[in-house]
Amino acid sequence: MTGILYTVSTPVGNLEDITLRALRILREVDIVAAEDTRHSIKLLNHHGIKKTMISYWRGKEQVRTDEIIRRLHAGQSIALISDAGTPGISDPGSVLIKRAIEENIQIVPVPGPSAFVAALSVSGLATDQFTFIGFLPSRKVQRQKVLRELYLEQRTLIFYEAPHRIVETLLDMSYILGERKSALVKEITKIHEEVMRGSIAEIISEVQDTVIAGEYVILVEGFAGSNKTVDEDVLPELYRLMKKGLGRKEAVKRIAETYGLSKKALYKKSLNETP
């Protein structure tokens, strides 16, 4: 009989943030596949769980996936965990999960903590609709390209970022997205947890006066667009996108889709006006 693969959410910081069900599953499975066994052993020891562990980190996902699939077919039950939060969400796991689906192996989710949801709940920004981006590209040109593509997104934007890139990423956001309402959540659920709120520029000023360390969640207000016509003039917004590197056709397409305008009429007017 084929074993069961459990995707188990683990604390993003505070070791008490784990469900009773997650603890039961971790005790019952044959093996725990952890992103970093050195990190996860602290969680297991804290809760008095002794279990065989194998590492499942991004650099070895394919090799480890083959091994785990063999074990599952042999009837072993396995709990997949990441260093923090939910496997596969900005963490290793998606390769194994897709393979298990292909192999008709039962997958059981054991939900729990998620850093971006916790951060959103205290951000003060709109929570009814949001877009989780995760980590932006590390290279400046690619990062700015992604931010330009997100400029007209009306839902709250949520990002993860590493401490050594936090300031340059915020600077790019200020340049591309403008002075929107935002929040920066540092070390959520940990001892040095901190939430900064304000415009992106205000947060840049505040974060530069703090010790930059730990994990960060960045939340930015979505584009505050409204229904307009070409006659009401959306050209300033169109030219803003073009100045940030977007071609005229792409800028016209985005503005037209946002406001429900005629792309043809908007394109024609953009050629007749002077930015």
Task: State the pLDDT confidence band at 62, using cuts at 50, 70 and 90.
Answer: confident
CATH topology of domain 116-220: 3.30.950
* Domain residue ranges in the chain: 5-113, 116-220, 230-272
Residue 228 has pLDDT above 60, yes or no: no
The pLDDT tens digits of the residues spanning 170-211 come to 999 998 888 899 999 999 999 999 999 999 999 999 998 888
- The pLDDT of 59-88, averaged and rounded, is 93
Task: State the pLDDT confidence band at 262, using cuts at 50, 70 and 90.
Answer: confident
Asked whether the beta carbons of 3 and 83 are under 8 A apart, the reply is: no
Query: Rounded distance, CA 53 to CA 29, Å?
Result: 11
- Across 96-100, 165-169, 246-250, least confident range: 246-250
Q: Which residue has the higher pLDDT, 52 or 265?
A: 52
Asked whether the beta carbons of 244 and 145 are under 8 A apart, the reply is: no
* Whole-number pLDDT of residue 23: 97
Q: How many CB atoms lie within 10 A of CB 137?
A: 13
| Domain formed by 5-113, architecture | 3-Layer(aba) Sandwich (3.40)
- The pLDDT of 22-38, averaged and rounded, is 96
* Whole-number pLDDT of residue 240: 83
Q: How many CB atoms lie within 10 A of CB 222?
A: 20
* Whole-number pLDDT of residue 230: 57
Between helix 263-272 and helix 248-259 the angle, nearest 10°, is 130
Residue 167 has pLDDT above 80, yes or no: yes
Asked whether the beta carbons of 61 and 33 are under 8 A apart, the reply is: no
Query: Rounded distance, CA 205 to CA 195, Å?
Result: 14
